[in-house]
A and B are shown apart, each in its own frame.
Chain A
Amino acid sequence: MKILVPVKRVVDYNVKVRVKSDNSGVDIANVKMSMNPFDEIAVEEAVRLKEKGLATEVIAVSCGVTQCQETLRTAMAIGADRGILVETPADLDLQPLAVAKLLKALVDKEQPGLIILGKQAIDDDCNQTGQMLAALADLPQATFASKVEIVDGKAQVTREIDGGLEVLSISLPAVVTTDLRLNEPRYVTLPNIMKAKKKQLDTFKPEDLGVDVAPRIKTLKVAEPAKRSAGIKVPDVATLVDKLKNVAKVI
């Protein structure tokens, strides 16, 4: 069974982002970029499944600018066998639906038994790509996985839901999206970094896959959250209730 792992290049989670002065988006010039942490968990899970003998090949995919190659190298250093870059122009606003369509084309091409990806990316927090891919490819889906087991050709996926755990059994091929507690990604080792250099990395253009990646959503404005104003001290409960009722208007 092949596993396809889509990975996104995002602003590193340690970076404090700044909005561009013209409010058109977040400034990513000279900002450290890394793999989306949820996708890193997805790569780790896929590699663990391979190490358990449940998968034969792990293929990492990234859609975006040329530098996404670095993200793919990271995936291959963790243990993915090869990488596919779907390269799009730097000025293109690549949106979840377009990515899902590109992934659908690659699913048709590679015929993986499992597609495992992050539940969302930490830059736009859309939480759409996995679900859209499942719909487009007409595959069963299990989102927000905290445990994945392959049993008798089915995926048993545990999901964290309000007040407990839900266990789904879905037939393969299927789409699984990862939650934070699925696993803790390993430290990339230097020997594996060296090996990753020699692994195969293929590049396609959206046209090669017959996909129209034109944006469907227009971003009107990106703004920083309003600054929190200083709090006040109240002398007693009566004043507190009064303020909550008449100033904050929350009760």
Chain B
Amino acid sequence: MALDTESFELLLPTLQRFIQERLIPAEDHLEEHDDVPLDIVQDMKDMGLFGLTVPEEFGGIGLSVSQEVLVNYELGRTAPAFRSVFGTNIGIGSQGILMDGTPEQKAAYLPRVASGELIMSFALTEPDVGTDAASLKTRAELDGDHYVLNGTKRYITNAPRAGAFTLMARTGGPGAGGVSAFIVPADLPGITLGKPDKKMGQRGTKTCDVILENVRVPAANIIGGVPGQGFKTAMKVLDRGRLNISAVSCGLASRILDEARRYARDRKQFGKPIGEFQLIQAMLADSQAELLAAWSLVKDVARRFDGKPAHVSDPDISMQVSCAKLFSTEMVGRVADRGVQIHGGAGYINEYPVERFYRDARLLRLYEGTTQVQQIIIGRELLRTA
């Protein structure tokens, strides 16, 4: 699945122009008001950004992973909250249905996901269950042709905007095999949302708890129709999501590097631009080299990802995805740190975008699997195949 090259080459410059002319100038407004302006959200819908990864037959344009990472690189060059508006729709919120859903589920949800009419979120994490996702506690008890769901989901991106959740709950015994993925409409009785989380950065992204009390979900809403497959679905969804986080990290690093370069050229000390000092150049050079390495890795793994069928999980590719996520998110952390360092005291003041990007970048190493989780995935796979 991919968009033809000619159309993709029309899409990318349009998106670049939209980011440059509409999103980047709105970054300060976003930071101040903690929300994406509604006219920008409408423009995103009109442009079709909610349907980037939904196949053409369901009203989207069906980008391949290789194309999706190029799009996410561009989106990484501005505040992450803009991407977040439609990010769960094109990513973790809808991919479960796309990869493992029944034809009826796809037809019922994907067209509304693609148009932006329906916002979908991904609900896996719980208060006591983060990295150890296989031991999640949210219960789903069968009662006739419905399941009754009880539990709490934590840090759920876009939950306040969501019309439905891809939500993991336990239908069977302990461990990964007892987990099922449900499509849970947000308006079902018994669903309440917690207070919006107050985060270090990424202002304008909306996250909160989702609390389920005796929520009756039709058994037909289990993704793929078969219970016990939810953990596998979740892991496949996360593979693709992690590659996109990697691409966003590279885009963000390139933006920070641009900001740092501009500052190094304009800022004068001892009678000359600070960029003429080799210690500044060293920081710029390290950032550039690491960015290129990460971006090459991400594009290469994306190409391999496209080489396998979407519904198949390949441990070798998952391991490579983890390598990309680990390396690129750690890379952007270092680039953001150097970006602030090059700015000196100014980098600690919110007048300069690097201050904000430094906080925004911190989350990249944490969500969709911390760096340590990626290390475990890589280490385990290396020893399994030794």
Contact = CB atoms under 8 A, between A and B. Distances in A.
A190 B6 contact: no
Is chain B's interface secondary structure helix, strand, loop, or mixed overall? Answer: helix
A73 B10 contact: yes
Contacts, number: 43
Interface in A179-203: 187-191, 193-194, 196-197
A188 B47 CA distance: 7
A193 B7 contact: yes
A197 B46 CA distance: 18
Contacts of B33: none
Contacts of A190: 11, 47-49, 51-52, 61
Contacts of A188: 10-11, 14, 47
A51 interface: no
A193 B18 contact: no
B7 A194 contact: yes
A200 to B, nearest CB: 16
Nearest to A74: B10
B9 A70 contact: yes
Interface in B41-70: 43, 46-49, 51-52, 56, 61
B6 A73 contact: yes
A142 interface: no
A34 interface: yes
Is chain A's interface secondary structure helix, strand, loop, or mixed overall? Answer: helix
Contacts of A74: 10
A34 B9 CA distance: 11
B13 interface: yes
Interface in B257-290: none
A241 to B, nearest CB: 29
A74 B14 CA distance: 10
Nearest to B18: A187
A73 B9 CA distance: 11
Contacts of A77: 10
A10 B43 CA distance: 28
B384 interface: no
Contact of B56 (A34, A187, A194): A194
B43 A191 contact: no
A196 B47 CA distance: 14
Nearest to B10: A193
Contacts of B10: 70, 73-74, 77, 188, 193, 196
Interface string A75-89: 001000000000000
Given A193-B7, A197-B7, A187 B48 contact: no
A41 B279 CA distance: 47
B146 to A, nearest CB: 37
B17 A191 contact: no
Contacts of A187: 14, 17-18, 43, 46-47
Contacts of B17: 187
B7 A191 contact: no
Contacts of A193: 7, 10-11, 14, 61
B128 interface: no
A74 to B, nearest CB: 6
Contacts of B56: 194
Given A70-B9, A187-B17, 16 more contacts: A70-B6, A73-B7, A73-B10, A74-B10, A187-B43, A188-B10, A188-B11, A189-B46, A189-B48, A190-B49, A190-B52, A191-B48, A193-B11, A196-B10, A197-B4, A197-B6
Interface of A: 34, 70, 73-74, 77, 187-191, 193-194, 196-197
27 contacts: A34-B13, A70-B6, A70-B9, A73-B6, A73-B7, A73-B10, A187-B17, A187-B46, A187-B47, A188-B10, A188-B11, A188-B14, A189-B48, A190-B11, A190-B48, A190-B49, A190-B51, A190-B61, A191-B48, A193-B7, A193-B11, A193-B14, A193-B61, A196-B7, A196-B10, A197-B6, A197-B7
- 5 tightest A-B contacts by CB? A190-B48, A188-B14, A189-B47, A193-B7, A193-B10
